[in-house]
Structure formats: C-alpha cells, structure tokens
C-alpha cells in the first residue's frame, strides 16, 4: 500500500521526461468489483458524494432503480441496472458499479493537451488536476468508458479519483469502505486479480456460470478497476461495458508521432524560403532602377 505521497508516472500534455518517474517503488493498486454479489444498495454512490463533498445532484427516475442515466461531473459513482433476458426466458438483474476504470493506458491522459491536467500515479491511479484543465474536453473523446464529465460553469472536467487523497494516506477508497456485502475490495493489482480469478472459478465450478470471468481489458493494457462478471463474454449486458475498449488513433499514433513530424515538415518551408532568397535572390521589378542592387 502506498503511503504519504503519490509518485507520478505519466503527465498529460507534457514535453520531455516526467520528473521523479520511477524513482520510488510503489505497488499498483486495484479496485475489485464483484458484480455477482452487488445488491444494488447504492451505499457506494452516497459514500462517494459524501467523501468528495460534492453538491447533491438531481436524480432522474426512468422506471429503473438507476439513480440517473450516466455519471455526472458531481456524481462519479453510479450503479447501472439492467434487466437481462436469459436463454431460458427468465430475467436476470445486473448491477454494475460504473466509475473511472483507471486504465493502465489512459485515453484521457493521451488526449489531453494541457500540461499536468491529468496525471497517472505510479500506483496506477489516473487523476485530474482541475487547476491545469483548460476545458477542451479532449479527454471525453479519448475515454472509451464515457467517464470524464464537463462542468459548463467551471469549464473543467471531473471524474472519480479512486480517492487518491485517501489512498495516498493508506486508506481505501470511500466506496470500498461503504460496501456492506464485500463485493467491493481494494488492494494491490496482483492480489485483486488473484482474488477475482478465484471468484470467477468459483462461479464457473459451483454456481453454473460457465462464462464467468474477470474484466481487465488488454486493449488498454488492463485497468485498475476490475470486474468479476457472470458472463465475461458479454460485458455489454452490464450497462454497456465495452468488450474491446479502444483509444482513438487520433490520440495515439497521430498525436504522438504524426503531429510533431507533420509540424516539422511544414516548418521546413521557412528555411527553404530563406535559402531560396540566399541562393536565387529576389524578383525585382524590371528593369532595375539605376542604383538598385541589379548587378
């Protein structure tokens, strides 16, 4: 468990090296969410709003148990309810705690043009620093999970911090502390993955969920929030969890390679023009007047 300070691993919109990166050994943390034992009590939703001192958000009733359609700038933790028809015709309820996944390869951080607006700590937490945010919302486009939310009054983007303020002091996130069933756990990535695999095996062997598995998508090099799902082959049925989350190429190859190279090539026009002048000289109006540099 990290304690005291959080070491920074990656910084958004940052030119050059990340100061201090790799200077300290730190365990990677992980939030474990067992969807199969969530009872939908929403204690985590309340704990999140409480701990983060967020103004109360208006809830929306849409004939389900869900608090509102999606997370909001002041509501970072949402239980997504779904009624899923099973093969035998009966219905199954899924309740998935939706929040920032704290991707190992964060699309928001890759997309962000503002230096230091988004950082990734060595422990894997991806955190927004609103004082550096310029409100461009590129992170919204970069995120495969539709998590960063824009506040049009402050012109800043907000999301779950994985309670980096608590984790930095050796405490577990507020949602974890509030969970009454133990479907939420917090620890090192290695420990949580081991626990999740064990639970998935248990579901497969003892509870008849042949497709039970762990959601830790490799397309973004894994996440620091992992799910145990009854059916890991259909993550979409859990409130639209993407099976193959991807960062748009705009913020990977294009941003980190094509853009700087393109700019350098475009700027080549300046030395070309300069040396054209040196080599070829100007086109004077003809004929040059006596005394002009015409020889």
Partner 1 sequence: MTTAVERFDDEARRRVNAHGRTTVHENELLRHPVYTRVLHWSVAIFFLLAFLSGFALYTPWLYHALTPIFGGGPMTRLLHPWFSLGFVVFFGLQLLNWLDPMWWTPADSRWLKRIKSYVSNEEAVEAEDVGFFNGGQKMYFWTIAACAVIFLLTGLPLWFPRSFGRLVVAISSVLHDVSALLMLVGFIVHIYESTAQQPGTFHAMTRGTVSRRWAWTHHPAWYRQATGRDPRADYERARAATRRAGSLDPADD
Peptide bond into 167 cis (omega under 30): no
Cα atoms in the Cβ-side hemisphere of radius 13 Å centred on 179: 23
For residue 160, give every residue at least 6 positions away whose Cβ sits within 8 Å of its Cβ, in sequence order, or none: 48, 71, 76, 77, 99, 100, 102, 147
Pairing of strands 8-11, 118-121: antiparallel
Q: Which is nearer to partner 1, 243 or 249 (CB)?
A: 249
What distance separates the 2 farthest-apart alpha carbons in the chain?
102
Pick between residue 201 and residue 243 the one whose CB is nearest to partner 1: 243
- What is the per-residue DSSP string for 101-134? --BSS-HHHHH--STTSEEEETTS-EEE-GGG--
Count of residues engaged in binding partner 1, rule: CB under 8 A: 47
Nearer to partner 1 by Cβ, of 91 and 266: the residue is: 266
Task: Restricting to residues 133-172, name those near partner 1 by CB under 8 A.
Answer: 133-138, 140-141, 146, 150, 155
Return the number of the residue (109 or 195) whose C-beta is nearest partner 1: 109
Q: Which string of x and - marks every residue 239-278 that binds partner 1 (by CB under 8 A)?
A: ---------xxxx--x----xx-xx-xxx-xx--x--xx-
Least Cα distance to 138 among 158, 109, 160 occurs for 109
- CA 249 to chain centroid, in Å, comes to 16
What backbone phi and psi angles, to 5 degrees, belong to 31?
Answer: -100, 130
In angstroms, give the least distance from the CB of 111 to partner 1. 9
Nearer to partner 1, 148 or 213 (CB): 148
Cβ neighbour number for residue 165 with a 10 Å cutoff: 15
What is the token pair recorded at 136? 């461009």
Least separation in angstroms between CB 241 and partner 1: 16
Q: Which class for 21: exposed (0-12), middle (13-18), buried (19 or more C-beta within 10 A)? A: middle
Tokens of 100: 């920032």
Residue 233 CB, nearest distance to partner 1 (Å)?
Answer: 24
Q: How far apart, in Å, are the Cα atoms of 211 and each of 78, 104, 208, 216, 280?
A: 25, 25, 9, 15, 73
Our finding on whether 25 is near partner 1 (CB under 8 A) is no
Q: How far is the CB of 251 from partner 1 (least distance, A)?
A: 8
Mark 171-210 with x for binding to partner 1 (rule: CB under 8 A) and - for no binding: ----------------------------------------
Select from 85, 180, 182, 288 the one that contacts partner 1 (CB under 8 A). 288
Output 168 or 242, the one with its CB closest to partner 1: 242
DSSP designation for 18: P
Minimum distance of partner 1 from residue 9's CB (angstroms) = 16
From residue 99 to residue 138, the character string flagging contacts with partner 1 as x (rule: CB under 8 A) and all else as - is --------------xxx-x--------------xxxxxxx
Tell me the closest approach of the beta carbon of residue 80 to partner 1, in angstroms.
19
Q: What residues make contact with partner 1 under the rule CB under 8 A?
A: 13-15, 113-115, 117, 132-138, 140-141, 146, 150, 155, 248-251, 254, 259-260, 262-263, 265-267, 269-270, 273, 276-277, 280-290
């Amino acid at each position: 468990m990290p304690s005291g300070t959080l070491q920074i691993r990656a910084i958004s919109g940052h030119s050059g090296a990340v100061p201090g990166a790799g200077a300290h050994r730190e365990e990677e943390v992980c939030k474990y969410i067992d969807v199969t034992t969530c009872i939908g009590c929403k204690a985590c939703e309340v704990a999140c709003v409480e701990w983060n001192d967020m103004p109360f958000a208006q809830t929306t009733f849409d004939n389900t148990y869900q608090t509102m359609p999606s997370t909001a700038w002041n509501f970072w933790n949402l239980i997504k309810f779904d009624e899923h028809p099973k093969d035998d015709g009966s219905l199954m309820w899924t309740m998935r705690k939706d929040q920032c996944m704290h991707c190992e390869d964060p699309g928001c951080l890759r997309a962000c043009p503002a230096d230091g607006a988004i950082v990734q700590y060595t422990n894997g937490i991806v955190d927004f620093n609103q004082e550096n945010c310029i409100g461009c919302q590129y992170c919204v486009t970069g995120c495969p999970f539709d998590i960063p939310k824009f506040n049009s009054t402050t012109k800043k983007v907000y999301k779950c911090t994985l309670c980096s303020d608590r984790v930095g002091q050796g405490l577990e996130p507020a949602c974890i502390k509030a969970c009454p069933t133990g479907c939420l756990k917090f620890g090192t990535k290695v420990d949580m993955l081991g626990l999740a695999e064990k639970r998935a095996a248990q579901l497969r062997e003892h509870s008849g969920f042949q497709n039970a598995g762990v959601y830790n998508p490799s397309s973004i090099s894994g996440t620091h929030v992992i799910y145990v799902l009854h059916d890991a082959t259909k993550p979409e049925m859990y409130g639209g969890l993407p099976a193959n989350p991807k960062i748009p190429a705009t913020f990977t190859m294009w941003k980190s390679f094509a853009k700087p190279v393109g700019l350098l090539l475009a700027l080549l026009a300046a030395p070309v023009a300069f040396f054209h002048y040196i080599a070829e000289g100007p086109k004077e109006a003809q004929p040059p007047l006596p005394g002009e540099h015409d020889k």
